[in-house]
A = this chain, B = another copy of it.
């Protein structure tokens, strides 16, 4: 078990991947750096999710807490023998990998072909679905655990552009900013339409 303060790293890109993790509470960002400081966030980890499973030997991303977080740690060797002793577990790993690959395809379109407003709308729709899945109920609000710069680095934009797009979506009455981090979706069909470029 590990307690992370906000901004503290759980592991770094290139470090030894001898442990696997589950998020108990809090949230993390996963990302890579280009040597000159450019950063690409490749995903976010929310409670209940596994981390470090896909790697072999070395971690291929850095994981940092977005807020104070509690993480359950598990030796990789023990995890591997657990998987070996319970065959259906391997199927769920495979299933999970498939889902991640399908999600990656979506993100390719976002990063390669969508405009700034389409990216931000896609992101809000995606987070909203993810939070609803976790909560198990329908939600009209989403609380962003990450700042504007993290969203920007996830979407291949700058924090200024993300901020401008939020304002734009607010002015179109598609979302409402309850606080900096709590967003209410006022017009979900419109948000989804924007996300798909319609």
Chain B residues with CB under 8 A of A153: 112
CB pair A104–B102 under 8 Å, yes or no, is no
The total of chain A residues at the interface (CB under 8 A) is 39
Number of copies: 2
A78 within 8 A of B: no
A154 to B105, CA, bound (A): 12
Question: A109-B32, A196-B34 given as contacts; is B42 within 8 A of A98 (CB)?
Answer: no
Question: Which parts of A145-169 form the interface with B (CB within 8 Å)?
Answer: 153-156
Selected from B40, B87, B101, B109, the residue in CB contact (under 8 A) with A108 is B40
One digit per residue, 1 when the CB lies within 8 angstroms of any chain B CB and 0 when it does not, for chain A 109-142 equals: 1011110000000000000000000000000000
Residue of B nearest to A152 (CB): B112
A82 within 8 A of B: no
A39 to B108, CA, bound (A): 10
Selected from B56, B60, B113, the residue in CB contact (under 8 A) with A105 is B60
A36 to B156, CA, bound (A): 22
CB pair A32–B156 under 8 Å, yes or no, is no
Chain B residues with CB under 8 A of A87: 87
4 interchain residue pairs of minimum CB distance = A112-B156, A111-B111, A97-B97, A104-B104
A contact set with B: CB distance below 8 Å: 32, 34-36, 38-40, 42, 54-56, 60-61, 87, 90-91, 93-94, 97-98, 100-102, 104-105, 107-109, 111-114, 153-156, 196-198
6 other A-B residue contacts (CB within 8 Å) besides A42-B108, A104-B108, A107-B108: A34-B196, A35-B198, A39-B113, A94-B94, A97-B97, A112-B155
Interface CB pairs A-B, < 8 A, 9: A34-B109, A35-B196, A42-B105, A94-B97, A101-B104, A107-B108, A112-B153, A112-B154, A113-B156
